[in-house]
Homo-oligomer: A and B are copies of this chain.
Amino acid sequence: MDLKGLEAVAKTIRALSIDAIEKANSGHPGLPMGCAEIGAYLFGEVLNINPKDTSWFGRDRFILSAGHGSMLLYSLMHLAGYEDVTIDEIKKFRQLKSKTPGHPEYGWTDGVETSTGPLGQGFANSVGMAIAGKRHAARFNKEGFELFSGRIFTLVGDGDLMEGISYEAGSIAGHLALNNLIAIYDSNRISIEGPVDITLSESVRKRFEAFNWHVIDVDGHSLDSIKRGFDEAEIARIKHNRPVLIIADTIIGKGSPNKEDSNTCHGAPLGKDELEKTKKNLGITSDFFVDPAAVDYFGKKMAEKRNKYDSWKSMFNEWKGKYPELNELFNKNFARDIDASAFQNLPAFAPNSMHSTREASNKVLNAICKDIDFVVSGSADLACSTMTVIKESGDISSKNFLAHNIQYGVREHAMGAIANGLYLYGGVLPIVGTFLSFVNYMRPTLRMAALMRIPTIFLYSHDSIYVGEDGPSHHPIEHISELRLIPNMNVMRPCDPEETKIAWELALTSKHTPSTIITTRQKVRTLDYSKLESYTNAKRGGYILKRESKKDKIDMIFIATGSEVSLVLDVAEKLESEGYSIRVVNMFSTYLFDHESAEYRESVLPSNIEKRVAVEAGVSMTWYKYVGLKGDVIGIDKFGISGKAEDVGVFFKFTNEDVYNRVKIVLNK
């Protein structure tokens, strides 16, 4: 261990962090200063990385779950030679369009493994990455060819560990014995509001031991102690087959004479005066100081890492020659492309046959995925209800990572973040599902997927009041509309088994947009497309499902989604029999429709037709975008009620007769 080199790195982290934050007049100096030694040791002595090949499959991952400490990461990435993080970009910390945004952003700064900031997300992403790593190791490693020996390191703060998601994810990690996961807890006993003991009395050690982790204590400012900790972690994770938590006793803002060990340095610049005192205290003689000894140290270390990388590449090349079939699978998995042929010859559903779309969804999913290794589906203890199961594969367990299903337990929030982590690791396309009403438990993870532009697939069943007996807490009302409001989220609500096929095709082939597929609990009628327009137009989001009977005359446009489509078709038929000319538009996905051209949208919803009625068993507010001030929305703007699904439907006036009567008012206006 090059003690002098590491100390120079720690000094550089502190110097860059405090200057960048001061210049931005915004940021969190406490963490980078408090974790400077840990960061130096981790990046210098531990991580197997290659900044010139940031998508190297065999690398170690580092996740800064406490994303507000971003200057720790940027300082280290700069020293390690990540091309995006130049000294000029560090000087533009937190400025518009710089490569050094306030929190680390995946897809924006090359080398950042995931976007962090909302606490606990990064930790749970790490658990997902660790599962992916274990799965690939089980699939592709061969004796003498440890392609996937990469470890996942994550740095968490008190805030991460107070969030419920970190308990859920920690419990799963212990359950699955993820011995490729090493979390470092920056235990500085300070949060934004003051000493952590105003809110936290629990024993973090005991808690992680309860989860079956191996726990190690280190002095976070002693490089000797840190070395012993990481050495022990490396041995213990293999010996005990457990994830490891290193509790690092640190001092927040260490180096600041008057602000260290207090919440004053957590989330605000040190201030000119204290900045000068800190620099003097640390022997920093210039602005944005980079210690030449740190540069030397990283020069040597990165050369060593480069050699390891080259060895890995040689091993990989040898492996390719020796296992050509595995290599083919490897390439398929990491490309995550599904051949168009997989969407052919899917199960047939007879016109007018009755199926729930959750059931149809499962049949379609299984038909598509039967030969696809990289799809991993799972649920939060509702696999049999939401029907997420990929059959004949079993569940991933600590003893078998080669299955297609994960049992997440009743842990929706961790499930979503683990799915995002599975995707980010590479080689896995995750699907996660539960009841739609429980999407509320995992909302941050949908947003993070959309923000990171990763195509995680979220599957929600039991999509409306037709859940019936379970009552209002289980009846989605606002949920579908809410999800449609998330930027870059494709929410699809298929109306029948055929349209469900389109939903899966779009979800499984999406590259930068997460998908939400919404299915029914109850049976719905498979439409008879011989009498309608083709459902393949669902790919455009909103489409004419039934054309008006009269040429050049539309008396009204009906807009519906999901289980309400067949209802609307029935009413339209009755109205047609009375002589009205009615168009029915299936608004399968507002996201896709809104991304179509103005011309296409006009062709579906001509602006001169103001008589429009939207029907969805959920809140009405969002539908005025499509029906305007002169249209009507038949929705549900109050909470549900427990009862048989049919009775509840009657209660909320979602019968053919009720809809017919409402529509007649519009027609007679």
The listed residue (B95, B201, B478, B628) touching A212 by CB distance below 8 A is B201
Known contacts A94-B642, A448-B473; is A624 also within 8 Å of B619 by CB?
no
User: How far, in angstroms, from A179 to B171 measured CA to CA in the complex?
Assistant: 26
In the assembled complex, A481 has its CB within 8 A of some CB on chain B: yes
B contact residues around A174 at 8 Å (CB) = 201-202
Decide: B471 and A101 in contact? CB cutoff 8 A. Answer: yes
B contact residues around A221 at 8 Å (CB) = none
Interface residues of A in 65-116 (CB under 8 A from B): 67, 94-98, 101-103, 105, 115-116
Least Cβ distance of A387 to chain B in Å? 12
User: How far, in angstroms, from A524 to B167 measured CA to CA in the complex?
Assistant: 39
In the assembled complex, A198 has its CB within 8 A of some CB on chain B: yes
Decide: A478 and B474 in contact? CB cutoff 8 A. Answer: no
Decide: A409 and B162 in contact? CB cutoff 8 A. Answer: yes
Which of A145-153, A308-316, A439-447 touches B? A439-447
A196 nearest in chain B by CB position: B409
Q: Residue among A98, A193, A201, A643 with the most chain B CB within 10 A?
A: A193
Least Cβ distance of A352 to chain B in Å? 26
The listed residue (B162, B590, B642) touching A168 by CB distance below 8 A is B162
In the assembled complex, A231 has its CB within 8 A of some CB on chain B: no
Known contacts A202-B210, A381-B192; is A642 also within 8 Å of B103 by CB?
yes
In the assembled complex, A60 has its CB within 8 A of some CB on chain B: no
In the assembled complex, A335 has its CB within 8 A of some CB on chain B: no
B contact residues around A482 at 8 Å (CB) = 478, 482, 485
A24 nearest in chain B by CB position: B469
Known contacts A485-B622, A607-B629; is A199 also within 8 Å of B409 by CB?
yes
B contact residues around A200 at 8 Å (CB) = 171, 175, 409
In the assembled complex, A660 has its CB within 8 A of some CB on chain B: no
B contact residues around A441 at 8 Å (CB) = 118, 163, 443-444
A27 nearest in chain B by CB position: B469
The listed residue (B382, B407, B413, B626) touching A198 by CB distance below 8 A is B407
Least Cβ distance of A522 to chain B in Å? 13
B contact residues around A414 at 8 Å (CB) = 164
Known contacts A202-B174, A395-B198, A642-B94; is A103 also within 8 Å of B162 by CB?
no
Which of A276-284, A497-505, A633-641 touches B? A633-641
In the assembled complex, A384 has its CB within 8 A of some CB on chain B: yes
In the assembled complex, A119 has its CB within 8 A of some CB on chain B: yes
Known contacts A102-B474, A102-B642; is A621 also within 8 Å of B26 by CB?
no
Which of A48-56, A573-581, A644-652 touches B? A644-652
The listed residue (B171, B198, B211, B647) touching A95 by CB distance below 8 A is B647
Decide: B621 and A485 in contact? CB cutoff 8 A. Answer: yes
B contact residues around A648 at 8 Å (CB) = 96
Give the copy number: 2
Known contacts A193-B407, A438-B118; is A469 also within 8 Å of B26 by CB?
yes
Decide: B212 and A210 in contact? CB cutoff 8 A. Answer: no
Least Cβ distance of A513 to chain B in Å? 12
Interface residues of A in 385-430 (CB under 8 A from B): 385, 395, 397, 407-414
Decide: A164 and B163 in contact? CB cutoff 8 A. Answer: yes
User: How far, in angstroms, from A292 to B622 measured CA to CA in the complex?
Assistant: 56
B contact residues around A160 at 8 Å (CB) = 410
Decide: A171 and B163 in contact? CB cutoff 8 A. Answer: no
Task: Give per-residue flags for A123-165: 1 if the beta carbon is below 8 A from chain B beta carbons, else 0.
Answer: 0000000000000000000000000000000000011101111
Known contacts A96-B644, A97-B643; is A411 also within 8 Å of B484 by CB?
no
Task: Give per-residue flags for A432-471: 1 if the beta carbon is below 8 A from chain B beta carbons, else 0.
Answer: 0000011011011001101100000000000000001111
In the assembled complex, A249 has its CB within 8 A of some CB on chain B: no
Decide: A477 and B469 in contact? CB cutoff 8 A. Answer: no
Least Cβ distance of A657 to chain B in Å? 18
Known contacts A192-B381, A202-B174, A473-B117; is A101 also within 8 Å of B641 by CB?
yes
The listed residue (B209, B487, B637, B644) touching A637 by CB distance below 8 A is B487
User: How far, in angstroms, from A482 to B641 measured CA to CA in the complex?
Assistant: 22
B contact residues around A322 at 8 Å (CB) = none
In the assembled complex, A350 has its CB within 8 A of some CB on chain B: no
The listed residue (B94, B175, B196) touching A201 by CB distance below 8 A is B175
The listed residue (B175, B440, B487, B610) touching A619 by CB distance below 8 A is B487
User: How far, in angstroms, from A346 to B95 measured CA to CA in the complex?
Assistant: 39
Decide: B199 and A385 in contact? CB cutoff 8 A. Answer: no
CB-CB nearest 7 A-B residue pairs: A164-B164, A96-B643, A199-B409, A101-B642, A206-B210, A167-B167, A628-B629
A-B contact pairs, 11 of them (CB 8 A): A102-B642, A117-B474, A118-B437, A159-B381, A162-B410, A171-B201, A172-B199, A175-B199, A193-B381, A448-B473, A482-B485
